[in-house]
Amino acid sequence: MEKRSEERERKIERLTKAKEHGLNIVIDLEFSHLMISTEINSLVQQIMYCYAVNGRCAYPGHLWLTGCKEDMETQLKRLPGFDGWFIEKESTSYIEALHVQKENLVYLTADANTTLEDLDPKHIYIVGGLVDRNRRKGITMRKAKEQGIQTARLPIGNYLKMLSSQVLTVNQVIEILLKYLETGDWKASFFQVIPQRKRCEADADENGVKEKDNSSESQKKLKRSEEEVGENESE
């Protein structure tokens, strides 16, 4: 029990430093009206996983939830300990919440022409909170363009080939960013996070990666996340 308390204190210390000096990562929750209830539930689980992974990182980012209201807020509040999460929760959009830093906003979207080469600590990176982007292709790019903010795509194509029918989930994008903060290596970050089922076989073979890419492994990760975020944390 004492060990768990010490671990929690160290975690809060890391997250406090991240709030002051860490990379700001925003999850844009303004798409909830476009999703059915099962998709909203899926996104809530992804957000829970993001929070748990960030808390375990040696160099965590500072997470934001913007547009957090109505159905999305209701579902998030059902998560154990959500009110105690060390995270920014805004009912307004990121444009309103971060208007004084608009020039530093960068929307991460696969449709961007600019490829992200490095993470700039001055920038605030936005990830679209949308499940099943195949139905809404280009929606985040159009939104960013209408708002006049920067866009960029992860340099995935420089290091591996994705299967055309697959897209990354919110938690995968954020975990890739966190891995890069830790390693400074895009290739290692992609291969550690992106499941083998989403990559061409040649890429996996070239890297000698042997993955346990199955439902039981995913369930273990989810269970661990549920246990971690269930702890009440105070800022």
Residues identified as active-site: 132
Pairing of strands 124-128, 24-28: parallel
Instruction: Compute the half-sphere exposure of residue 35: CA atoms within 13 Å on the CB side of its CA.
Output: 22
Pair 172, 50: CB distance under 8 Å: no
Amino acid sitting at position 138: G
Q: Whole-angstrom Cα distance, residue 53 to residue 177?
A: 11
Beta bridge partners of 127: 27, 108
- For tokens 């992200």, the residue is 116
Two tokens, residue 204: 């996996």
Q: Of 116, 96, 97, which is closest to residue 106 (Cα–Cα)?
A: 116
Q: How far apart are CA 175 and CA 173, in angstroms?
A: 6
Q: Given CA atoms 203, 208, 214, 216 in this order, what sign does their dihedral have?
A: negative
In 72-91, which positions are buried (b, 16+ CB within 10 angstroms) versus exposed (e)? bbebbeebeebeebbbbbbe
